[in-house]
């Protein structure tokens, strides 16, 4: 999340706490602040791992997944979804230290 968006979110939270913003507006604002989760290709997944200089086994440990899952993702046999996909996108954006 950008610094501008973080600042705006703090301001909106303060307005909500002051009773100026409705619960519905706050809920919609928070939803709009979420990072869009888009599918990753097998090559993108492999690139995330290689850019972080880790083996498939170590990458799997960071993601709390099996090495077999990482191998299937990198071969394009399966696609990550849910929390695993969100963690991959976070690792892509901020590196593995963000999820360690």
Helix axes 82-94, 42-51, angle to 10 degrees: 50
- 52, 95 contact by CB (below 8 A): yes
pLDDT of residue 1: 62
Q: Which residues contact 89 (CB under 8 A, 6 or more apart)?
A: 35, 37, 38, 40
pLDDT of residue 33: 84
Task: For residue 59, report the phi and psi dihedrals to the nearest 5 degrees.
Answer: -60, -45
pLDDT lower than 50: segments of the chain: none
């Amino acid at each position: 999340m950008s610094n501008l968006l973080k600042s705006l979110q703090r301001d909106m939270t303060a307005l909500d706490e002051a009773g100026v913003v409705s619960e519905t507006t706050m809920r919609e604002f928070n939803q709009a602040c979420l990072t869009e989760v888009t599918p990753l290709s097998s090559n993108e997944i492999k690139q995330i791992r290689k850019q972080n200089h880790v083996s498939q086994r170590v990458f799997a440990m960071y993601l709390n997944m099996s090495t077999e899952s990482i191998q299937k993702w990198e071969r394009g046999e399966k696609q990550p979804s849910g929390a695993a996909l969100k963690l991959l996108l976070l690792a892509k954006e901020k590196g593995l230290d963000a999820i360690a």
